[in-house]
Amino acid sequence: MKPAMWGAWRLTRHARRPARMASQSRARARLKAPPQASLHKLLFDTIVHGRPALEFLISSCRAERVLLGSDYRFDMGTLECARQAEALSIAEADKATILGAAAMRLLALS
């Protein structure tokens, strides 16, 4: 899911298009809260291929939910992931979280 699509994701939950009503009814029956209420259960990586998108992701779901990613060995991967995270316009504590503290907590290494 792309962070820039979250507005559409929220709107879709309340859309009333006849062709989608049956599937939306099933989805609403399973999903008891708005989709954004589930964001605290998800983890994201930094591979969003753009600084504005990454800063939006971090501001939307908190640095604790964002892990450093490289997609190394894949054609869209990068070896500049740490430098890209360090260059963000976010608090130093959030950078430290993304650069490893969140992964350490997730893996129970800290």
In contact, 34 and 13? CB cutoff 8 Å: yes
**pLDDT score for 91:** 96
Rounded to two decimals, the pTM is: 0.71
Going by the DSSP 8-state scheme, the letter that residue 99 receives in this structure is I
**pLDDT score for 93:** 97
Q: What are the structural domain ranges in the chain?
A: 1-34, 43-110
Alpha-carbon gap, residue 17 to 105, rounded angstroms: 43
Instruction: Return the closest-CA partner of residue 44 out of 110, 102, 104.
Output: 102
Residue segments in the chain with a per-residue pLDDT below the cut of 70: 1-28, 110
The amino acid present at 78, given as its one-letter code, is: T
**pLDDT score for 27:** 66
